[in-house]
Chains A and B, each alone.
Chain A
Amino acid sequence: MPAPLPVPPMTAALRPDTEDAVVAAVADALADDAVLEIVGRGTKRGLGHAVRARRVLDLSALSGIVLYEPEELVLSARAGTTLSDIQAALAERNQALAFEPPDWGPLYGGPARAGTLGGAVAANLSGPARIRSGAARDHVLGLRAVTGRGELVKTGGRVVKNVTGYDLCKLLTGSMGTLAALTEITVKVLPAPEKIRTLLVLGADGAMALAAMETALQSPHDVSGAAHLPAYAAARSAVSYVSGAGASVTALRVEGPAPSVEARCLALKTLLAGFGPLEELHFRNSRTLWAEIGSASLLVRGGDPLWRISVPPTAGPRVGAVLARTLGAEIVADWGGGLLWARVPAALEDAGHASVRAAIARPGGHATLVRANDAVRASVPVFQPPAPGIARLNARIRDGFDPKRILNPGRMGAEP
């Protein structure tokens, strides 16, 4: 069990159970010049900078599925509904959230399966399927939210195709509660795959691993996951084929109707035969492995800082190698090389911030210090520092939604 990370204590908690009460809570904060820390069930309080707020707006009581129409592929739920409740309701109808929200609760020393839909959307979560099916941002159809002006706004709708007005759904998704408190969320849902298989290429490293992933992703076989685990990470997997490999593992996932999955798996085997010995995982083992990859659990040990870095896929191995060499980082690559999870030693004063930012400066991308203790997060920017022009725009956008900076101030970095 990783050591829980210190989080500032909550003082007065407001726990509204209606949207009106959320409006009232924010309006009161505005009138009182008080700031609010917004939490769902608090599973990701360790993500971003600590919010020094004396009032906590706890949205966990604002819960429940409001609408679920499987034939329309749409579900609406109040923001505090847990993802596990939503996933259970979807599973009954053989559907799923296609952005594959990972469970980051344990990363922060909390329980598994506790996160809320509001939290997943506020953090724009995405899992290994990001490369094929998108992130939370791609699945949010509509939102109701209370801005820092204490006003309820709605945006989007319940239909997939909608270009009416600005796409505030995209803007609010990933805004970490700094623009508005989400109260109700409508998402697109999709059929769950009938079959899932994962092909493992054993012992391919660095450029070979990238080439294997590239080959699979450039094939017409519709690969829905492409990750690389160095031997030390593979050894920690709960899937025996992976932990027992005694070598690095490059994992490639296909999913869909049964005959299609079988045919594609076969075709991929032929395509990848030259990269090393192959293994195949079926449904349950696939599920376990990809959940481990999405939640970076193969890298979680103690309280060591953890980075999540998005780069162009071809830059992944180079950036990973640099961080391993200069920081002693452990790396797991996902998204065909485009996503790097890097665990760096706790002894580094800045959690490797300077090296990480420098390593991605040339290829372009962004890095988030997903986990680090309070002291480090107080001194190092957690999110990618924006270019000056973007920072100015961000500040003006924040002026529009939360002019008094009462919602999660500082959570995404120094307040402009």
Chain B
Amino acid sequence: MKMPEADAGVLARRDAIVRDLRRLVPGEGVIAEEAGRRVYESDGLTAYRQLPLVVVLPEDTEQVSRVLRYCRDNAIKVVPRGAGTSLSGGALPLADGVVLGLAKLNRVLEIDYANRCAVVQPGVANLAISDAVAGAGYYYAPDPSSQVACTIGGNVAENSGGVHCLKYGLTTNNLLGVEMVLMDGEVIRLGGRHLDAGGYDLLGLVTGSEGLLGVVTEVTVRILRRPATARALLMGFPSSEAAGGCVAAVIAAGIVPGGMEMMDRPAIHAAEDFVHAGYPLDVDALLIVELDGPEAEVDHLVARVGEIAGACGAVSVRASETEAERLLFWAGRKAAFPAVGRISPDYYCMDGTIPRHRLPEVLARMAEMSSRYRLRVANVFHAGDGNLHPLILYDANAPGELEAAEAFGAEILTLCVAVGGVLTGEHGVGVEKRDLMGSMFSDTDLAAQQRLKCAFDPDLLLNPGKVFPVLHRCAELGRVHVHRGETRFADLPRF
């Protein structure tokens, strides 16, 4: 993976930079020794590692602002970091860059039930928000599987999702406002406790911008009343076509389930061996459908989904009768990653999205790739919204396997795009999918996106090397090229 060339001048000034940063962030907030920095050398995409120049852990917005202004003035690159669970290398350090960790900004600032929102610092873990409001019967809807650890700041940067996206949306649909610091140290506020923006939707733009536009220092999220009840159905199908058909039929019947997850045979077996959730082992596809809402609605819909599944060829259908049983149904799915981790020394988690009806074809092509690359693959799939998580099994110690896994992964993602899908549904582009961006976007598309980067960070110092395959200089992108249209409007008066 080619990263921006390290600035020799910055590397040479390292000691002075550390001294300056210690003045800006007093106390324990600057980590310069190697052992301390080692902790930050990678994120959830562990295949890539890089020791950062220095790590800074500010305690408030003011310190974040001072550090960014200092770095801008001294042309030092900055990599923001939350909990470091990114699966796309979004928080991968740079040799000549400061890692700006937000972990110390970890307070829930205010819970405002009357306005149904919570104001928190960026280092607060996703689940901690739901925990803070659970007593009053509320929760924060987006629930990435990493929710115990990942931070809300990281969620904003990645526009993270979870298993409930189809019904409740991603981070971007549950966000009311942020405070953020631009690379020049300026502190801005977007949104608040009200809905929508009066001008351009900068909040929408910043969400999912992978730490390239600014550093989020405060977040206001919407909180929802927990549904009165939730029940899950566990359904086995003889083929992924049949399971896919069931998903389509559920939606065609006007039902939007709270969650709808599919697993293929290898994933079912790995999960069942690990957690003994009672999954059927003689099926090719397993569907978990969760209905949530008022009790009357849930019972009604559980019955309807059961009927639909029968009509679609389900060979087993079980509906949870107790909360414990519902959780057991989910236990296997939730543990799918570690379960796969048990059957292989390493695995590589992919994250493409496809139009749902292309699933059987994509699975068949993946099986073909699997035999060609001689690497096993297990699939878990957010079936409701078409988000695939193929887990490629490999052994990093076996020569060539990591490279093969990466090539396999890239081929899967290119296939996702080819069938009308996208490179990443929720894990972000980061460094991992950076060089595949061309399969989805033209140079013109990418230039339009990069001009936004230039609007926020004209010196390209914030998290460079991520998202964009080539980072053009802003002056170059700003030029206007005038060329007349080919289909002229000949009858048009010229002014």
Q: Which residues of A are interface residues toward B (Cβ below 8 A)?
A: 12, 14, 18, 20-21, 23-28, 30-34, 54-55, 69-74, 94-95, 124, 126, 130-131, 134-135, 137-138, 147, 149-155, 157-171, 173-175, 179, 190-192, 194, 214, 217-222, 256-257, 259-260, 262-264, 267, 310-314, 335, 338-339, 363-368, 383-384, 386-387, 389-390, 393-394, 396-397, 399-401, 403-404, 412-413
Given contacts A54-B495, A159-B421, whether A21 and B487 have CB atoms under 8 Å apart is yes
Cβ–Cβ contact A163 & B208, under 8 A: yes
Cβ–Cβ contact B194 & A311, under 8 A: yes
**Docked CA distance A23–B487 (Å):** 9
Cβ–Cβ contact B427 & A171, under 8 A: no
Given contacts A32-B494, A399-B455, whether A174 and B201 have CB atoms under 8 Å apart is yes
Chain B residues near A389 (CB-CB < 8 A): 182, 186-188
Count of residues in B whose CB is under 8 Å from the partner chain = 107
Cβ–Cβ contact B207 & A164, under 8 A: no
Chain A residues near B449 (CB-CB < 8 A): 155, 165-166, 168
Q: Output the least CB separation between A143 and chain B (Å).
A: 11
Given contacts A164-B424, A166-B208, whether A124 and B448 have CB atoms under 8 Å apart is no
Cβ–Cβ contact A173 & B448, under 8 A: no
Cβ–Cβ contact B196 & A310, under 8 A: yes
Cβ–Cβ contact B300 & A259, under 8 A: yes
Cβ–Cβ contact A401 & B255, under 8 A: no
Pick the most buried of A30, A167, A365, A412: most chain B CB atoms within 10 A of its CB. Answer: A167
Q: Which of B196, B440, B451, B493 is close to A124, meaning CB atoms less than 8 Å apart?
A: B196
Chain B residues near A339 (CB-CB < 8 A): 195
Given contacts A12-B492, A256-B297, A257-B301, whether A159 and B195 have CB atoms under 8 Å apart is no
Cβ–Cβ contact A175 & B493, under 8 A: no
Chain B residues near A413 (CB-CB < 8 A): 199
Closest 9 CB pairs of A and B: A24-B485, A170-B204, A384-B198, A260-B297, A400-B451, A366-B198, A191-B254, A263-B296, A396-B455
**Docked CA distance A21–B252 (Å):** 37
Chosen A-B contacts, 18 in total, with CB atoms closer than 8 Å, are: A14-B492, A18-B487, A20-B487, A21-B487, A24-B489, A27-B483, A137-B204, A150-B485, A159-B386, A164-B433, A167-B204, A167-B207, A168-B452, A221-B294, A222-B294, A257-B301, A264-B297, A396-B456
Cβ–Cβ contact B437 & A164, under 8 A: yes
Q: Output the least CB separation between B7 and chain A (Å).
A: 25
Closest chain A residue, CB of each to CB of B166: A160
Chain B residues near A161 (CB-CB < 8 A): 161, 165, 170, 353, 382, 385-387, 425-426
Cβ–Cβ contact A220 & B208, under 8 A: no
Q: Which of B225, B353, B480 is close to A403, meaning CB atoms less than 8 Å apart?
A: B480
**Docked CA distance A338–B190 (Å):** 17
Given contacts A368-B198, A394-B199, A399-B478, whether A166 and B297 have CB atoms under 8 Å apart is no
Interface residue? B39 (CB, 8 A): no
Chain A residues near B239 (CB-CB < 8 A): none
Chain B residues near A154 (CB-CB < 8 A): 441-442, 445
Chain A residues near B487 (CB-CB < 8 A): 18, 20-21, 24
Interface residue? B295 (CB, 8 A): yes
Could you tell me which residues of chain B, from 459 to 491, have a CB within 8 Å of some CB in chain A? Answer: 467, 477-478, 480-489
Cβ–Cβ contact A220 & B489, under 8 A: no
Cβ–Cβ contact B489 & A14, under 8 A: yes
Q: Output the least CB separation between B446 and chain A (Å).
A: 8
Cβ–Cβ contact A386 & B199, under 8 A: yes
Cβ–Cβ contact A365 & B194, under 8 A: yes
Cβ–Cβ contact A150 & B455, under 8 A: no
Interface residue? B169 (CB, 8 A): yes
Chain B residues near A32 (CB-CB < 8 A): 494-495
Given contacts A135-B196, A164-B429, whether A170 and B207 have CB atoms under 8 Å apart is yes
Cβ–Cβ contact B195 & A335, under 8 A: yes
